[in-house]
Structure 1
Amino acid sequence: MTEKLLVRVGQSQQEPVSWLIWSESDSQIIASGELEHSGLLGELTEKASGRSIALLLPASDVQLKQVALPTKWNRKLERALPFMLEEQVASDIDDVFIAIGEPATIEDKHFINIALCDLAWLQSWMSVLDDFDIEPTVVIPDALLLPSPEADALSAIELQQQWLFKGENWHISAVESDWVSDYLSLTPESQVVHYSPAESLVCTKELNAKADEYDLPLAIFAKGLNALPINLRQGIFAAKKKQPQWWRDWKAGVMAAGVALLAFVSVKSTQLVMLQNEADAYKAQAMDVYKQAFPNKVVRPHLLRKQIQNDLDALSGGEQGGFLELTNHFVSIYSQVDGFDPETFRYDHKRNELRIRAKAKGYQTFSQVKSILEQRGIEVQQGALNQDGDYVIGEIRIRGAA
């Protein structure tokens, strides 16, 4: 993104909010303005779309420190850092957000540059921006974006009745205009390089005006974004990985399709379970019939089909071939008659007669079975029928050629 939106907030959400849109490619201001308070940040929502966003925090609310280290910076020291700082901060260390910058070496001594601010305060600002769909990629104290000063000098700019200063060795400050003279009398630097008019700046320091570079403070800060010394968008404030645009465009459709697919799979799974249960019932019924037909045989469920085929092949080639023919005629009725359950089979090979004792839900079921078999040219003789509770028990004799 070649355009950047800079949003500079105050200490409280009732203070003015400055903003500026900067063109990186043209190095010029596209638009700028000031909101009376944070409640008007919604006016920047559209301006934030398609642009990288930098949140500038007031230097007065962010403290920079250089922490001395016993050795080079490493992961173990990073975990120990809060304990190293516990006695150096006035508040509870758990209430402080610690942002880690670059390690530094000064006269062969190791340091780590850090930034400290109130955790709840920064969380509140991030929450307000999120409410208006403004997501900064950079969070940094404003004065830290001033041009880096030369040795023995301070960089300075005036912003909203304050002077912002940046010195060497990881030092920034924000000073009310009425106190600038007192502040500068205490600083060791002998020169102040200022990027805004300094007629009101009274001090004993040498003043070096960068008149050719005078510009809006946020425009000066925008140029400093090219070399970030630190970004507070880390740790608990680390930016979440953005979803690709195609996913955001298709997310609703994909989720709907997923729900539909899940429902389809659930229905099919239920149907599969029902079919499996039905298949198990048929298999159990087939085993019962097989046991009745071949009482001396051991049933092997996983080989049942093959057992039946082998036994039928044996019957078709021997004197019991009539049994196979009569059985085939009888089996054909299962697809046509409901509620007819054979209980025993007896075959008289001398008379070529198959006797079936069965139970049915009514007398008409036996009549239906007899009619179907007779239509197939089979001689059928029906025995006595007796009522047994909800069922009718009876016998049917099927006779082939003797």
Structure 2
Amino acid sequence: MSETLIIRLGHNQADKLHWLIYSDTEQEIIASGELQNANELVNLTDKAVNRQFVALLPAADVQLKKVTLPAKFSRKLQQALPYIIEEELACDLDDIFIAIDEPYQNTKNSETQYGIKVAILNKTWFETWLKCLADYQLSPQKIMPDALLLPYEIDKASAIALDNKWLVKTTDWQIAEVESDWLNTYISATKVDTLMHFTPSAQLSGINGLTLESKESQFDLPLVIFAKQLKNHAFNLLQGDYQVKKQSNIVRPAWRTPAIAASIALVLTLGLKGFQVYQLDQQVSVAKQNVIDQYKSAFPRAKVRPHLIKKQLKNRLKQLEGGSGAGFLDLMNDLVIVFKEVENFEPDSLRYDKKRNEIRLRAKAKDFQTFGRVKSILENQGLEVSQGSLNNDGDNIVGEVKVRRQS
């Protein structure tokens, strides 16, 4: 499959989820977005059809360990593995699931030391997420901890920001999810000399003895970076009792000839209808382009997604529902001035609260100062402006502005 659907799950089903559809051949984003919670996974059911589906788990919920073995890894040692690491665990063996990666060996002073890489997670928590995905007909072919997909170089750690936290990879098999306030403390404790970061941040400066490598040319959405690294990792948490069962498509020899004959007949029948279908497709394409042109005319600053145009129109209507009165129009007239005077200030969504006579505008700009200028212009027009939190989203600043008439 040339396209991959990636969903980054949360610590629980009430958390926000990130998703991305990535083209492996074109090396570009097909679509991306966020879900407020697991109940919205229904919106991704159709997107998983005919695509590889990879689920990512938060690094904080998966413990990666390198386990030293008494001999070269074998089936017998695999069976004994839970008891080898039992003393290092703070929970009952029945409560955890242990997945294995590739074995390794190190030679020092003519002595060979054997080991195996393992991932440990709570079995009930894991099964709850698998059931949740199955409820929405989502069957992942691969599940991995998110931070394991960070780029890695020997003797260098790597980090990226996601949802006001940092995902960090300090070795090829050591990852963490760190609160922003604890990032410097964690990096200092790991004693890494060099940190590659894929998110712009002044927070990383000031750690004594730490060399920072800003990978500006690779700054991107975390899930895009993860998608590019998938080909470098064969590890999969879906193993043992959770292994994906391969479907068998074996045809018995006795049925082979009739099946081929039926296939030929079907192809001929479809071929006769092909020209008519082609004509209908042409008519649909023309009609669809007309709809897109009208949408662009009505919302010149909006980004058009042709495959989601119907949903975009419905969303626009919902946003404007109940807001056709003079209050809405007056506020929109004031906002038009902002869009004319302020460059690089683009709206993403707009909602009108009729009861409060308030417009809630979510927009993106090139910097924080742009939001400040917008607020100043609106206040000079006698409006009451409330500015929400501003977040750094790659090369843009994203935030929300609430505008209403002064009472």
TM-score category, normalised to shorter length: 0.5 to 0.7
- Is contact 2:82–2:93 with CA below 8 Å preserved after alignment? yes
CA contact (8 A) 2:198 2:219 kept: yes
Alignment size in residue pairs:
246
Residue 135 (str. 1) matches residue 139 (str. 2): yes
Aligned residue for 2:48? Answer: 48
Give aligned-pair identity as a percent.
43
Q: How many Å apart are 1:46 and its aligned residue? A: 0.4
Q: Does 1:190 align with 2:175?
A: no
Residue in 2 that maps onto 1:69: 69
SS of 1:221's equivalent? Answer: helix
Q: Radius of gyration: which is bigger? A: 1
| Number of the residue aligned with 1:238 | 243
User: What is the deviation of 1:130?
Assistant: 0.4
- Say which SS state the counterpart of residue 200 (structure 1) adopts: helix
Q: Which residue of 2 aligns with 1:178?
A: 181
Paired with 2:187 and 2:250, the residues of 1 have a C-alpha distance of 51
Q: Does 1:207 align with 2:212?
A: yes
- Contact residue 100 and residue 118 of structure 2 kept, 8 A: yes
Q: Distance in 2 between matches of 1:54 and 1:90?
A: 30
C-alpha distance after superposition, 1:171-223 (max 9, x if no partner)? 11110001001111111211110111122224332110010011100000001
| 1:149 and 1:166 in contact (8 A); partners too | no
In structure 1, C-alpha distance between the alignment counterparts of 2:84 and 2:93, rounded to whole Å: 10
Mapped partners of 2:172, 2:114: distance in 1: 13
C-alpha separation between the residues in 1 aligned to 2:45 and 2:177? Answer: 29
Partner of 2:37: 37
Kindly indicate whether the alpha-carbon contact (under 8 Å) linking 1:96 and 1:116 is maintained by their aligned counterparts in 2: yes
Q: Distance in 2 between matches of 1:148 and 1:122?
A: 26
Report the counterpart of residue 79 of structure 1 in structure 2. 79
Give me the whole-angstrom Cα distance separating, in 1, the residues matched to 2:250 and 2:46.
17
Counterpart of 1:159 in structure 2 is 162
What amino acid is the match of 1:54? Answer: V
Counterpart of 2:113 in structure 1 is 109
> Residue 65 of structure 1 aligns to which amino acid in structure 2?
K
Alpha-carbon distance, 1:240 to partner = 2.0
Aligned-residue CA RMSD in angstroms? 1.6
- Tell me which of 198, 214, 228 is aligned to 1:223: 228
Task: For 1:222, give the aligned amino acid.
Answer: A
Q: Which residue of 2 aligns with 1:304?
A: none
- Secondary structure at the aligned position of 1:226 is classed as helix
Q: Distance in 1 between matches of 2:21 and 2:172?
A: 30
Report what 1:334 is aligned to. none
Quick one: which amino acid aligns to residue 101 of structure 1?
D
Give the 5 Å matches for 1:92-107.
92-107=92-107
Secondary structure at the counterpart of residue 130 of structure 1: helix
Q: Which amino acid aligns with 1:10?
A: G
Quick one: distance in 2 between partners of 1:62 and 1:137? Answer: 18
Task: State the Cα deviation string for residues 28-72 of structure 1 (Å, max 9, x = none).
Answer: 111100000001100000000000000000000000000001111
* Change in 2 beyond 3 A, CA 1:37/1:244: farther
Q: Gapped runs of 5+ residues in structure 1?
A: 247-402
Correspondence 1:21 to 2:21: yes
1:169 Cα offset (Å): 4.7
| Equivalent residue runs for 1:253-332 within 5 Å | none
Cα distance in 1 for residues equivalent to 2:44 and 2:27: 21
TM-score (norm 1): 0.59
Tell me which of 114, 125, 131 is aligned to 1:121: 125
Cα distance in 2 for residues equivalent to 1:160 and 1:135 = 25
Unaligned runs of 5+ in 2: 252-407
1:144 aligns with 2:144: no
Aligned equivalents of 2:176 and 2:247: distance in 1? 34
| 1:121 Cα offset (Å) | 0.3
Q: Distance in 2 between matches of 1:43 and 1:189?
A: 41
* Structure 2 Cα separation of the partners of residues 129 and 157 of structure 1: 26
Moved over 3 A (4+): 243-246
SS in 1 for 2:153: coil
Quote the offset at 1:150 in angstroms: 2.5
Q: Normalization by structure 2: what TM-score?
A: 0.59
> In the superposition, relative to structure 1, how do residues 214 and 91 fare at CA in structure 2: closer, same or farther (>3 Å)?
same
What is the one-letter code of the residue matched to 2:40?
Answer: L
Q: Paired residue for 1:2?
A: 2
